[in-house]
Structure 1
């Protein structure tokens, strides 16, 4: 080949390589300066302080004297609270836990509901008692329990019977005095 032709081909090849390298840079848009976005933020309104008025001092009217005095009503006898049986009569295992079981009939935030179930259980002839727990939100949870008994199988059978009779889901739990 002619030396002039070789020089022209090499020159053309170099130009093609340069174009291949520079064209993506030119058309990518990276060479442009970003447009400045200017937003008009209004000034905060000026707030004036409202005058603070002192509260009026009013004289409280004194209550009228009532001559009629009612006779004190007879004291109402409260129903005794159901206490769980004493723990001293139950055996403990190696871990120190009492070997007795109870049936938990329900847990109530409303003590009146717990009392109703407790009375129903007692009327049916069951040894029922309540246990109260303080919850983290400050409210009281009242649990209605039946038992306790040392025989787990007997308590399990009692749970099934009570669940059917009172139509509530019952649980067998370890007795806690």
Structure 2
């Protein structure tokens, strides 16, 4: 490399270093200006402190408790006895044996739905089971299920008297619910 070029490069590096050191000092101002920091602290607020005694606090808490106690909902106590009813038996799946009242068996779905609607209008819990048999599709209409067979037989007499429908008490099986027609 040429000696002149070396001298020029060294000179340029020195000038750049001096500029980097000196220029920030010239631009920022004096050290005293940088040391001064402006802080504005507001005056302390004028607070009136009330003296409260422990007795006053207790009285106030008691008043609040009484007021909130009158607004709370009262506890509802169910006085019915739900003791275990020993009038039912369990099947092999440990489910209670239940009974239903079969009131009709139809090939036409609409007829089954009409009978179910008639039973529901008379406020009887009713349902339809759909099944495919060798003779075709059938829709069976039931009332129930009930755990007590005697209660269902009593209901059978009422339905026979009021709706002129003869029924047959049959065993209710939860497995049959898969074929239950919605609604």
The answer to whether TM tops 0.5 is: no
Query: Normalising by structure 1, what TM-score?
Result: 0.45
Higher helix share: 2
